[in-house]
Amino acid sequence: MVVEFFRQAGWRTICMPDATADDLVHVVETERFDLIGFSMANEKWLAPLPPLIQRLRKASRNQDVRVMVGGRVFSEDPRRVAEVGADETATDAREAVRTAARLVSETQAVA
């Protein structure tokens, strides 16, 4: 699981596989996150993802929060990354950790 690679790299992570949109919004309203990630294997979740990402960005305590997506849905068609409003994708867990570190460091460098 990707979350384990992040934990091994020293990231503090929260994994919420059964969370509702409202659950996710509540978490980003109450805790500060540098990165939000979604992994998707099934296209049925694509349609609700763009409005959810917008809600999370708006609700986030970190106005510079970054969003990464991954999984088969994005591997098959990388254009979907922009279509859902995410910042980046990665093809595997190791690349995800490196990409996330770059995204967060770029944000912090600007601040």
Q: What is the CATH number of the domain that holds 105?
A: 3.40.50.280
The reported pLDDT for the residue numbered 53 is 98
Give the pTM. Answer: 0.91
The reported pLDDT for the residue numbered 1 is 82
| 106: confidence class by pLDDT, cuts 50, 70, 90 | confident
Summarize pLDDT for 26-77 with one digit per residue, the tens: 999 999 999 999 999 889 989 999 999 999 999 999 999 999 999 999 999 9
Is residue 86 within 8 A of residue 69, CB to CB? The reply is: yes
Average pLDDT on 71-96 reads 95
Domain count, the chain: 1
Q: Which residue has the higher pLDDT, 31 or 109?
A: 31
The reported pLDDT for the residue numbered 79 is 95
The reported pLDDT for the residue numbered 45 is 87
Q: Which long-range contacts (CB under 8 A, 24 or more apart) does 57-63 make?
A: 57/85, 59/25, 59/28, 59/29, 60/28, 60/29, 60/32, 60/33, 60/36, 61/28, 61/29, 61/30, 61/31, 61/32, 61/33, 62/32, 62/33, 62/34
Percent of the chain with pLDDT over 90: 88
Q: Which domain holds residue 104?
A: 2-110
pLDDT above 60 (res 110) = no
Is residue 67 within 8 A of residue 87, CB to CB? The reply is: yes
The mean pLDDT of the chain is 94
Of 77, 104, 108, the C-alpha closest to 10 is 104
